[in-house]
Amino acid sequence: MIKKFAIGLCVSILVTTAMYQLYQSIERQQSHSQQMTGQFLQIQSKRTELMQELAEVQARENPSDHDLWLIGHLTKTIEGLDKVLGGVEAGQQRVERHYLRQWSGLIGVFLGLGVFAVVYARDPEGKLSAQDRQLIQQPLDSISGIRLDPASYRTDPAPVSGGSNFVTGRIRQHSPTELRIRGGKIIQAFAAAFLVGPLASFAIDAVYLTNDILSRGWDAEFSMITNSLVMLASFGLGTLLILSSGGSSVTVDGQHQAFRFLGNTDAIPFRDIASLQLNNVLVTGRHTFNNHQIQLNLKDGRSHSLLNHAGQDQMTADLILLARFTGLPIAVPA
């Protein structure tokens, strides 16, 4: 309950902050727009006056030397004002682009966090199916397709790289001959919340750059798109790290009877595994919480952590699925 309240409070703070920043950004944009519009109108009014004066001088039948000098002077002044007007227009476009990027990023963050909040509210810990709920309520020895092996039970859990106090991954049927560990919905929604804002800003810059290339060719300004790419790459890396915490990338290959691990060329054949085991692991450190783990007990005495997170019911359902799929027994205390 405390965890749900803390997550809800943090999401509320982030959403409120994003909305407040969006409101402030709109106010600043309106102020800048009014200032630049006023400056543009003032220069344009001055240009109109000079154009009228130039037309009057040019209309004289016998212009004097002073008139000729004045014509040249007014012409150069008007050309200078045209350049200033062009600069003001370009400045307005840059300001509009800057605020549009900022707004799209904030709205993206707002939507991403909103989706995360909805997913967490509807499926806070990895919702179990009706079949899963029915299975975990039964004793293991009464479930069809399940064998128990007390002799292979290990008292020491396999080492893990870390832990999590929510469901980070589930074992799912990928095909009739293959199981895979997939990140939980909470992990996926949280990762998406990180990435939506930078993607929205990048999309805005891509549209502006496309228009710029069509009008100016390869003399277009690429600095903004490169900044967006850097931000997108940074947040993308963070997203990948978040998704990778959803459990190791494991494929349970029923056709070749082996566990395959991403980045590791050495597969673990079913024949080398004595049993599967469910552990209750206490994670200590800055925060302390109970974790649950599915480990592979190898016949040579080693053990391997397959999946670990805080969802005991989800872990139990995944253990049953894995045992039925592989035909391996489940180790239980004698």
Write out pLDDT tens, residues 300-314: 999 988 888 878 888
Q: How confident is the model at residue 148 (pLDDT cuts 50, 70, 90)?
A: very high
CA 59 to chain centroid, in Å, comes to 66
Q: What is the mean pLDDT of the chain?
A: 79
> Distance between CA 107 and CA 113 in Å, rounded?
10
> Distance between CA 180 and CA 158 in Å, rounded?
20
Exposed e or buried b per residue across 268-303, where buried means at least 16 C-beta atoms within 10 angstroms of its C-beta: bebeebbbbbbbebebeeeeeeebbbbbbbbeeeeb
317 C-beta neighbours (distance < 10 Å), count: 22
Please report the pLDDT score of residue 178 as a whole number: 93
Least confident of 126-130, 143-147, 154-158, 317-321: 126-130
Give percent above pLDDT 70 in the chain.
79
Please report the pLDDT score of residue 268 as a whole number: 92
The amino acid that residue 108 corresponds to is G
All residues at 6 or more sequence positions from 212 whose CB lies less than 8 Å from its CB, including other chains: 220, 221
> Distance between CA 168 and CA 184 in Å, rounded?
5
Secondary element (H or E) of residue 273: strand 273-283
Residue 267 has pLDDT above 80, yes or no: yes
Q: How confident is the model at residue 160 (pLDDT cuts 50, 70, 90)?
A: confident
For residue 17 the two structure tokens come to 């902050």
pLDDT in tens, 275-285: 999 998 776 65
0.85 cut: is pTM over it? no
Q: Across residues 50-60, what is the average pLDDT?
A: 84
Q: Across residues 286-301, what is the average pLDDT?
A: 83
For residue 204 the two structure tokens come to 């805005």
All residues at 6 or more sequence positions from 29 whose CB lies less than 8 Å from its CB, including other chains: 95, 96, 99
> Distance between CA 21 and CA 19 in Å, rounded?
5
Exposed e or buried b per residue across 211-226, where buried means at least 16 C-beta atoms within 10 angstroms of its C-beta: ebeeeeeeeeeeebbe
pLDDT in tens, 60-119: 888 888 878 888 888 888 888 888 777 777 777 777 777 777 777 777 777 777 777 776
